[in-house]
C-alpha cells in the first residue's frame, strides 16, 4: 500500500512539474528554445518521433514530406495580416466577414499549435513540383496524396501523431485538415498550458489587422470552437 501511495504521489508531482515548467514564450510562438532542425524546425521529441515514422513509411514505399512545422508568432502575424488585406481589399469583404474567412484555416497569432513545433502538415514527397498542396480533395480517394493519407490513417497514431482537425460534422472551428498531425505526448502538455492562460487578454492585446473587431462574442466563440474543439485525443 505504501509503495502504491508513493507511486501515485510521484505521478502527481511529475504532472505538476511538467505543467509548471512549460515556457509560456514557447506556447505563444515567441521562443525557439525547444526546437531542432534547419528549414523545417520541430520540438526535439517530435522530431525524433517523426524520423521513426518517416523511416517506417519509407519501408512501405511511402515518402512523407513536411511542408509546415514550427511557425513563430511574427510569421503567423504576417500570414494573418496578408489574408486580412487580401479579403478586405481584393475581395471587398467587410472586416467581420474577412476575419471569419481567415479563421476557417488560420489561427489568431499567439494561439497557433504550429508555435509549439509539435504540429506538422504532411504531403506525399513524390510530387515535389505540385502547387497548392494543402487542399482536402488531394487527400481523398483517387487524389494525389491518398496513399500517404491512407498510410497515416493506419499508422500515425502508433508513433504518437494524431489528426488535429478531424472530419467530424459535429466539430466546429477550423475546417477539416487531412494533412495536419500533432505529436500527442508533447502537444497535450502545451495545449493544457495554453488554455490555462488568459487567452481573452492575449487576443484583445494583439496588434494585427482587424483586431478592433475582436469583440467579446468573437473571442468567446474563437476559444470555444477554434482552440477547444479539436480531436478529443489531443486534450
Give the chain's length.
235
Q: Parse the chain into domains and list their residue ranges.
A: 23-234
Task: Tell me the average pLDDT across 47-57.
Answer: 98
The yes-or-no verdict on residue 117 having pLDDT over 60 is yes
Instruction: State the alpha helices, DSSP H only, in 106-235.
Output: 146-155, 184-196, 199-204, 216-221
CATH number for 23-234 (one of 3.90.850.10, 3.20.20.370, 3.40.640.10, 3.30.1380.10): it is 3.30.1380.10
pLDDT at residue 155 tops 90: yes
Cell of 228: 477547444
Reduced to 3 states, what is the DSSP secondary structure of residue 122?
strand
**Confidence at residue 15, expressed as pLDDT on a 0 to 100 scale:** 43
Percent of the chain with pLDDT over 70: 91
Tell the burial category of 147 from Cβ atoms under 10 Å away from its Cβ (0-12, 13-18, 19+).
Answer: middle
Q: What nine digits make up the cell of 31? A: 521562443
Neighbour count for residue 13 (Cβ, 10 Å): 10
H runs (alpha helix) in the chain: 2-20, 24-27, 44-59, 73-85, 95-102, 146-155, 184-196, 199-204, 216-221
CB of 163 within 8 A of CB of 148? no
Residue 174 contacts by C-beta under 8 Å, 6 or more apart in sequence? Answer: 103, 104, 105, 107, 165, 226
C-alpha cell read off for 123: 504531403
Reduce the DSSP state of residue 68 to 3 states and report it: strand
Write down the pTM of the prediction: 0.89
What are the cell numbers at 28? 505563444
* SS3 state of residue 169: coil
Give the confidence band of 1 by pLDDT, cuts at 50, 70, 90.
low
Q: Which of 117, 111, 128, 134 is nearest to 230 (CA)?
A: 111
Cβ 143 vs Cβ 137: under 8 Å: yes
Residue 17 has pLDDT above 90, yes or no: no
**Taking residues 206-214, what's their average pLDDT?**
94
State the chain's mean pLDDT as an integer. Answer: 92
Spatial contact of 183 and 45, defined as CB atoms under 8 Å apart = yes
Amino acid at each position: 500500500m505504501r509503495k502504491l501511495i508513493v507511486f501515485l504521489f510521484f505521478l502527481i508531482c511529475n504532472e505538476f512539474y511538467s505543467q509548471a515548467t512549460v515556457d509560456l514564450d514557447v506556447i505563444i510562438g515567441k521562443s525557439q528554445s525547444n526546437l531542432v532542425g534547419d528549414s523545417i524546425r520541430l520540438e526535439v521529441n517530435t522530431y525524433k518521433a517523426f524520423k521513426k515514422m518517416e523511416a517506417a513509411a519509407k519501408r512501405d514505399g511511402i515518402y512523407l514530406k513536411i511542408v509546415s512545422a514550427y511557425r513563430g508568432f511574427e510569421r503567423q502575424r504576417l500570414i494573418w495580416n496578408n489574408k486580412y488585406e487580401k479579403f478586405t481589399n481584393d475581395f471587398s469583404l467587410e472586416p467581420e466577414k474577412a476575419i471569419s474567412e481567415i479563421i476557417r484555416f488560420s489561427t489568431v497569432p499567439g494561439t497557433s499549435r504550429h508555435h509549439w513545433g509539435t504540429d506538422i502538415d504532411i504531403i506525399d514527397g513524390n510530387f515535389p513540383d505540385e502547387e497548392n498542396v494543402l487542399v482536402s480533395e488531394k487527400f481523398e480517394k483517387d487524389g494525389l496524396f491518398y496513399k500517404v493519407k491512407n498510410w497515416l490513417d493506419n499508422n500515425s497514431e502508433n508513433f504518437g501523431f494524431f489528426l488535429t482537425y478531424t472530419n467530424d460534422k459535429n466539430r466546429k472551428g477550423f475546417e477539416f485538415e487531412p494533412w495536419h498531425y500533432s505529436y500527442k505526448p508533447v502537444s497535450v502538455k502545451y495545449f493544457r498550458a495554453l488554455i490555462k492562460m488568459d487567452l481573452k487578454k492575449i487576443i484583445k492585446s494583439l496588434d494585427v489587422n482587424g483586431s478592433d473587431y475582436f469583440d467579446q462574442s468573437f473571442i468567446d466563440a474563437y476559444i470555444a470552437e477554434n482552440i477547444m474543439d479539436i480531436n478529443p485525443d489531443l486534450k
